[in-house]
Amino acid sequence: MTEHIASGAVAPTADTWTLGGKEFASRFILGSGKFRLDVVRAAVEDAGAQIVTLAVRRANTNQEGSILDAVPEGVTLLPNTSGARTAEEAVRIARLARELGCGDFIKVEVIRDARYLLPDNAETVRATDMLASEGFTVLPYMYPDLNVARDLVSAGAAAVMPLGAPIGSNRGLVTRDFIRILIEEIDLPVIVDAGIGRPSQACEAMEMGAAAVMANTAVATAGNIPLMARAFGDAVRAGRAAFLAGPGRVLAGAGEASSPLTGFLGEEAR
Ligand SMILES: CC(=O)[C@@H](O)[C@H](O)COP(=O)(O)O
């Protein structure tokens, strides 16, 4: 877990983070699943994203082309195993992604529940174990459970990706208390994924100490996609700066004057 920067200390010039031996400055990960290919580039550029997730089936060239051509040069691809219902299926999809030239990063998604789209944590741990031993940089999408997160660390995950709310719901940080526990206890980057519907929610996750935030639906369903992409990038940067600064204290009950009152009006004026 990153520590706050003490008052008077010099803030780092480059507040980077590392995944699979690669260094990143941006802490906003853009999901591309709900984007038309022709808007992917603008969204990535406006968000300042350096990592983009993609469904492996879109890496194959079809009528709409290949998403690999739509993602700007230099951006790290994070293919996901969407569609997998078991660990074995996730492994097959990951190997296919590697063969298609998507690299060694893989976001493990194992989902059997078709209504709420909640991840199967047990299968996710198994898939992470198998893929890490094949040399993948594994980022598992998970329900925020501390014991499972610890199992994912042991299995060789490079980060954990707890959900904020059901995929595509735009409901925000519904699981915030449990994500906070992961941030406190897990010595890997915690990337908040799924259900983040507003830049303010992404900002809150970063203020809590998340390493990064990922969103797809919130940007893809916005009225102005590039503008919303930029808003998310800005919100993530603001939340990160607030976390590093250390938040001010909260007072219960009475207020406290923000401007000095004593010695101005004098005692007789009270
Ligand atoms: C697991 C999964 O599919 C999510 O990562 C999704 O890509 C992003 O979720 P939202 O669309 O809710 O942002």
Which of the two residues, 14 and 136, has the higher pLDDT score? 136
Residue 268 has a pLDDT of 56
Q: Is residue 32 part of a domain?
A: yes
Q: Is residue 259 part of a domain?
A: no
Lowest mean pLDDT among 9-13, 110-114, 192-196, 253-257: 9-13
Ligand 1 pocket check for 201: Cβ under 6 Å: no
Whose CA is closest to atom 6 on ligand 1?
194
Kindly indicate the confidence band of residue 64, based on its pLDDT and cuts at 50, 70 and 90.
confident
Q: Is residue 195 part of a domain?
A: yes
SS (H, E, C) the chain: CCCCCCCCCCCCCCCCEEECCEEECCCEEEECCCCCHHHHHHHHHHHCCCEEEEEHHHHCCECCECHHHHCCCCCEEEEECCCCCCHHHHHHHHHHHHHCCCCCEEEECCECCCCCCCECHHHHHHHHHHHHHCCCEEEEEECCCHHHHHHHHHHCCCCEEEECCCCCCCCCCCCHHHHHHHHHHCCCCEEEECCCCCHHHHHHHHHHCCCEEEECHHHHCCCCHHHHHHHHHHHHHHHHHHHHHCCCCCCCCCCCCCCCCCCCCCHHHC
Q: Is residue 264 part of a domain?
A: no
Ligand 1 pocket check for 195: Cβ under 6 Å: yes
Q: Is residue 192 part of a domain?
A: yes
254 CA from centroid of ligand 1 (Å)? 42
Annotated ligand binding at 216? The verdict is: yes
Residue 35 has a pLDDT of 83
Q: Is residue 234 part of a domain?
A: yes
Lowest mean pLDDT among 42-51, 66-75, 249-258, 260-269: 260-269
Q: Is residue 11 predicted with pLDDT exceeding 60? A: no
Q: Is residue 192 predicted with pLDDT exceeding 70? A: yes
Ligand 1 pocket check for 192: Cβ under 6 Å: no
Ligand 1 pocket check for 216: Cβ under 6 Å: yes
Q: Is residue 269 predicted with pLDDT exceeding 70? A: no
For the whole model, what pTM was predicted? 0.91
Annotated ligand binding at 135? The verdict is: no
Residue 266 has a pLDDT of 59
Mean pLDDT of 201-217: 98
Task: Print the domain residue range for 209.
Answer: 17-248
30 CA from centroid of ligand 1 (Å)? 9
Residue 36 has a pLDDT of 84
Ligand 1 atom, smallest distance to 219 CA: 13
Q: Which of 81, 167, 174, 175 to mutate to test the pocket of ligand 1 (most atoms within 8 A of CB)?
A: 167
Q: Is residue 253 part of a domain?
A: no
Residue 45 has a pLDDT of 93
Mean pLDDT of 259-268: 63
Residue 87 maps to which CATH number?
3.20.20.70
Mean pLDDT of 208-214: 98
Q: Is residue 266 part of a domain?
A: no
Whose CA is closest to atom 10 on ligand 1?
194
Q: Is residue 8 predicted with pLDDT exceeding 70? A: no
**Number of domains the chain is built from:** 1
This complex has an ipTM of: 0.94
